[in-house]
Amino acid sequence: MAAPFLPPPPDPQFVLRGTQSAVNAVHFSRGSQAQECPLLFSGSQSGLVHIWSLQTRRAVTTLDGHGGQSVTWLQLLPQGSQLLSQGRDQRLCLWDLAEGRNAVVDSVHLESVGFCRSSVLADGQLHWTLAVPGKGTDEVQILEMPSKTSVCTLKPEADAKPGMPMCLGLWQANSSPRPLLLAGYEDGSVALWDILERKVCSRVACHEEPIMGLDFDSQKVRGVSGSAGKALAVWSLDGQQSLQVCSTHELTNPGIADVTIRPDQKILATAGWDHRIRVFHWRTMKPLAVLAFHSASIHCVAFATNGLLAAGSKDQRISVWSLYPCDSHSLFGRQKTGDGHFITA
């Protein structure tokens, strides 16, 4: 019997152009059911932050606060009107976007000149915890914000030698008030830090190359990381706060710049140096799609709460995709997407 015809993966739902330089960071505003078209924030190599309306598909505002130095990380605070942007100018800016404003109201000087992206853990509307790369090459600085009070500096044991922190993820278990930090390092290891105790609870070797991105599912207590190598690593955390590698998944080409799990914990996406976005089922890690649109390395990927996926590339374009609606019951086989296309593994 002849094999059934399987249509190719779809094109992007739309493409955003106009950054005029490589796109290094993308971040969606927190949409609601009433807000079907969230805003998209992008950070570029030229130091600009663009705010895009996904309704008009145009930039509505451009923020210039990093002196022409590359923007590497973006994060909205819980109230939705304050944006953090991190740049290669060793500055982390806090923007007030309420009521049409676009002013820098505060900033943090970063001691590190590396590419490590910061992380935020929001305790509420008024206070939050910030993890940033520290002054020492292997250090992470923890700050209480907005007071910028130093909580502690996390420095590996003398015999550990993990190299530079490459990516950070603050989180807190529902059953515990203790903030924890996951850090991916230059030597390919992931470490879990207890911030209050200022110690490493566990460390596990996940990759042979530097870790470029990680994400963590606090509900399943399971994370995923990608590196400069050819493998994705899935790892878990047990009740004794011990990390262990569950599985590794070999990719066709090396280089994963970013990895992110969709908010509903059903799928994840990776940003590839090979110009490809790869989509996986999060529970089984079954490959679902390889999306080929960009003509250069993809630097970042992000999901919106309504399921939209954005990818930013060195080719100066941002692709926006509608894949596997969040209310889908099955993600296997031929699956109809929100724009009428079918995607196959």
**DSSP collapsed to 3 states, 84-97:** EEEECCCEEEEEEC
Domain 23-109 and domain 253-324, same fold? Reply is: yes
Q: Is the CB of residue 307 less than 8 Å from the CB of residue 262?
A: yes
Q: Is 100 helix (H, G, I), strand (E, B) or coil?
A: helix
Alpha carbon of residue 78 to chain centroid: 17
Q: Using one digit for the tens of pLDDT, what is the confidence trace for 37-92? A: 689 999 999 999 999 999 999 999 999 999 999 999 999 998 778 999 999 999 99
What would be the CATH architecture of the domain defined by 23-109?
A: Beta Barrel (2.40)
Domain boundaries, the chain: 23-109, 110-250, 253-324
pLDDT at 243: 95
Alpha carbons 330 and 332: distance in angstroms, whole number: 6
Nearest C-alpha neighbor of 253 from the set 274, 234, 280 = 274
**Cis ω for the linkage preceding 4 (within 30 of 0):** no
Asked whether the predicted pLDDT for residue 4 surpasses 80, the reply is no
Fold (topology level) of 110-250: Methylamine Dehydrogenase; Chain H (2.130.10)
Q: Does residue 176 have a pLDDT over 80?
A: no
Mean pLDDT (whole number) for 291-315:
96
User: Is the predicted pLDDT of residue 2 greater than 70, yes or no?
Assistant: no
**pLDDT tens column, 95-133:** 999 888 899 999 999 988 778 999 999 866 678 999 999
Single-letter amino acid code for the residue at 323: L
Region 8-31: mean pLDDT is 89
Strands (E), 293-333: 298-303, 308-313, 317-322
Percent residues over pLDDT 70 in the chain:
88
CB 192 within 8 A of CB 237: yes
Q: pLDDT band at 160, cuts 50/70/90?
A: confident
CATH code of 253-324, in short, is 2.40.10.360
Predicted confidence at residue 313, as pLDDT, reads: 98
Averaged pLDDT, 198-226: 95
Mean pLDDT taken over the chain: 88
Coil, strand or helix at 298: strand
Confidence of residue 336 (pLDDT cuts 50, 70, 90): very low
Residue 215 in contact with residue 260, Cβ under 8 Å?
A: yes
Whole-number Å distance between alpha carbons of 123 and 266: 26
Q: Which residues pair with 63 in a beta bridge?
A: 49
